[in-house]
Amino acid sequence: MTDSPHPYSALTPDVALDALDSTGLRADGRLLALNSYENRVYQMGVEDAQPVVVKFYRPERWRDDAILEEHAFTAELAEREIPVVAPLALNDATLHPQGVGRGCKDAQASTTTLHRHAGFRFAVYPKQGGRMPEFDRADTLEWMGRFLGRIHAVGATASFAHRPTLDLETFGYASRDFLKQGRWLPADLVAAWDSVVEHALASVAHCYARAGAVHAIRLHGDCHAGNVLWTEAGPHFVDFDDSRMGPAVQDLWMLLSGERDEQQAQMNAILTGYEDFMEFDPRELHLVEALRTLRLIHYAAWLARRWDDPAFPAAFPWFNTQQYWQARILELREQIALMDEPPLVA
């Protein structure tokens, strides 16, 4: 089932600015929409303070306890001086509608990182500057590896109770089944798609079997270049919205690109830094192409699940076309071949 149509139709600029006011911060009227589709994210000016970034969560996607679990994980990382951008603990307007500084005697007892206003849940983050990281540089990848090792060393100390695990069931079978429920594919491509997806998922299962029982830890979950801001101090990790349990290599493989020899050199650089802080299980390298395959299938299902949101047809007009599905079928066939090859080595 898809989300209800127009999930953000009531999120007008005035509602967004009033939401920030409800936390005790005073919006100065400046509002800039940032690039985000799953949620709605705005940079907002604040009176007598630095701008902040406000994320309005997609209705019905996460339960409150899952969002708070993500916030707790980022706070745990920040406490250890790992450069993540964690949400701010601000006034809880549901307990003190007048707000901190306006009659609230016990601000400490009423602060939270998850807020509500006009039917929307939201979080407020400090603005973090930075540029896109240069993942083609070995020193950048080694630096990334060091901080990912630190994140995973913390992530391995406990488990999520309310967030899902990235595995063959959640990203593979569930995505396959959702696409089968709707008329997303042209009729002449349905048989080819169904066949290649079944073959691809069988290959993913074989990769997991070769890897054996790998240990699932708390991850960033979506560690691509767009979720890393680079400064002179190094990387800053943002947007833990997809954080979940899974194999450590999930946060590493998205840093790889190019031909096999290039990816091998990149992985060497990453692990050089990573293993300063966290031991890496080399069996997980069997999962690199399997996880890439799961992401491809999951991404197609994600677009389909969100198609009732008018932002998606506008941003992804090529989805659900003959050319799109032909390209995905070819892509999965290439992934099947790659999953049959020997893995990268540690």
Annotated catalytic residues are 222, 239
In this structure, what token pair is assigned to residue 311?
A: 């932002």
CA dist 143 and 230 (Å) reads 11
Instruction: Locate 39 and state its tokens.
Output: 């949620």
Chain-centroid distance of CA 24 in Å reads 28
Integer angstrom CA distances of residue 119 from 11, 56, 122, 162, 260: 9, 10, 10, 22, 48
In 3D space, the residue among 161, 45, 24 whose CA is nearest the CA of residue 93 turns out to be 24
Contacts of 20 (CB under 8 A, 6+ apart): 27, 44, 46, 52, 54, 124
Structure tokens belonging to residue 188: 């002449």
User: What separation, in Å, do the N-terminal and C-terminal C-alpha atoms of the chain show?
Assistant: 41
Residue with tokens 């007008």: 12
